[in-house]
Every structure is written in C-alpha cells, then in structure tokens.
Amino acid sequence: MTSTDTIFETAQSRIYQTLGAPAVFTPLTGAPQDLYVVLREEESFQPGGFQSAVCATETVVRYMRADIDRKLVPGETFTIGSAVYTVRAMREWTSRRGKAVVS
C-alpha cells in the first residue's frame, strides 16, 4: 500500500466514523461484525443510461471495503440502532467501498 493509499484509507475511516452510524453487519454465515456505515435515501433511475427518470427512492447502505471486502448477498443484515436493514441487492462496488440497497 502506498502512502497515498494509507492517507486515503485513514481519511475515509474518519469520515465514516464522523458522518456515519455505528452498525452491526450480520452475514448469512459467520460472526457479526461491528463497523461504521452511511445510511441514505437515494433516487432510483430507470432505465439506466443517457435518458432516464427517477422512478422511486431506495434506502442504501455504504460501507468501507476495509471492513467488508466482498460484495454483499441478499438476506444479510445491518443493524443500525434498533432498526434492522436487510440487503436486497448490490448497487456499487469500487476499489474502496460498496453500496447495497436495503429494506
């Protein structure tokens, strides 16, 4: 890992701890894991591409790949406060973070 990567990872971690919420991720198999996530309501554009329209809003959870270094599977859950959010689908997968649609 280069020094630039280290700086970015440290900054991202601090952003999630400051702007995010503490959560517990529960995979379908394995032990639950504590982490910070960002929970948001976002617009869902259909169809994708150049010409699209907002069809609905969806609740998404963004997480750092430093915490969960894989794509999530439908049925896995995030507990944030007293609310439990179930993963429905992956929306985004980048080199540093993931974003999943939850309900």
Rounded CA-CA distance 83/13 in Å is 23
The domain in which residue 32 lies consists of 3-102
Beta carbons of 58 and 101 less than 8 angstroms apart: yes
9-52 confidence digits (pLDDT tens): 888 888 898 999 999 999 999 999 999 999 998 877 666 666 66
**CA distances to 68, 78, 79 from 82, in Å:** 21, 10, 7
Domain count, the chain: 1
Token readout for 2 is 């280069």
**CATH number of the domain within which 82 lies:** 2.40.10
pTM metric for this prediction: 0.83
Rounded CA-CA distance 70/93 in Å is 9
Beta carbons of 80 and 21 less than 8 angstroms apart: yes
